[in-house]
Structures are given as C-alpha cells and as structure tokens.
Chains A and B, each alone.
Chain A
Amino acid sequence: MNALRSEWGAIGNLRFLISSIGSVSPNASSLGADVYNIFCVGMEAYACIEQDGYSASFIYRPPIYDGPLALNVSVGYKFAEVPRITNDLWVINLRATLA
C-alpha cells in the first residue's frame, strides 16, 4: 500500500496521518494538559454517497471577476454528498497528551 503524503508511521495495521487542524480538547487531562483526539478509523467504517457523481467543491473567484476595480472576492462551497458512519464501533477516539 502506498504511503500517503500526510502519513507519519504505522503500528501493525494502524496507519497514523498527521494534520495541522486535528482535534484538541484544551486542558482536558487529569493534570490539565491538552488532550489530542486521534480518530482510529476502520476500513469502511464510514461511507460517502455522492449525488450524481458530484461530491463537494470549494469555489474561489479572485477579485478580477468582481468588477473593473477588483474590490471583492467570492468564496463558497457546494456540497452534494452524504457522509455517513456505517459502524460507530469501528471508529475509536484515542485520546492522548504530549509526552
């Protein structure tokens, strides 16, 4: 299996991916340290139903499309898919603090 760009390592069949926007529960440990929520997701634990083959798109129009003075940009998204957890027991939240 090819390594993903964000893949940091693996233990057995559990592969770890890193993210700058991961979930953190501030000061939530017994000693008041930040707790990092590490979602361990099994294969097919969730699924996405894409409507008519469409999924989600993030749309950005630079200011030149706004008018001759290029004053405003437009940002939006279209979301035509339904994500769904297929089995909650296959999604585990591993909670840990920094050593």
Chain B
Amino acid sequence: MPGGTPWNSERADEIIRAHQHLAGAALPILHALQHEFGYIERDAVPLIAQALNLSRAEVHGIVSFYHDFRQMAPGRHILKLCRAEACQSMGADALAERARDRLRVGWGETTADGRVTLESVFCLGLCACAPAAMLDGGVFGALDDERLDRLIDEAQR
C-alpha cells in the first residue's frame, strides 16, 4: 500500500519467513515488504540475504535493478503518469510537465508535505485510453488538463 506502515524488523522477518519457501523467493519477498512498508528499508537487505543464503551485495543488486522497488519511503499517495509512446501521441509530455509544475517535484520525488510521490511509468496497457495514469492502484484514462488537475487535487487531499 502507498505510504505503508512504519518499519518494523520483526514484522519484516515474519513476511520474509512467509515467502522464503517459494522457488526464486526474492521478488515475492520484496513485493510483500514494499506492500507493507511502502519501500524497501535498508535494514531489510541483511534479513533477506540471511533468509535466502545470498550476500547483502546480491540482495542490494536485486533491489536496485528493478524500477518498482523504492529505497525511500514514498508519500501518502503515489501518482504514476504514463510517459510511453502511445500516451506521448496524445499529449502526455505536456501533462507530465503540468504535473511536475503543480506538485513541484521531479520524477520519483515526494512533495514537501509528504502527500504525493510522482513517478513515471512506461506503459500501463491503457494505450487505447491515452493519456493514462494510476493513482494508488486505481486507473485513469483519457486525461486532459482538467482531469489531471482533479487527480492531483485528490492526491493532495
């Protein structure tokens, strides 16, 4: 969940134990940790390494490889704007600029009040409803300035 609960190493241990039996458990563990805490806390890396018999460097390598895994706590809401070609053809670049201006953040950054994290995404599979965005897992298509503004207002609430 966006935001997530505060870091707690005992809870993290429980989550890791619940998934470590899976073949190739690293990604399921990381997804579950991020779902709980909103990001991958540094202290989770040695716990995962121990559980999976990997080095800490290997776990760090996995965390940092994937765009999804955040290494810092996000804002309370996460707004992802699609910036891939289909959305570009319908004016996504201008919408992206508008979102950055209104929120005064760069990509991957969180507003000063901690309310909204703005992220790029390269394709939500909503290419027939472009330009598209995702707010906390909900999907929105056919965005224009007005609809984007409403989405940003909702995220800032």
B partners with A: no
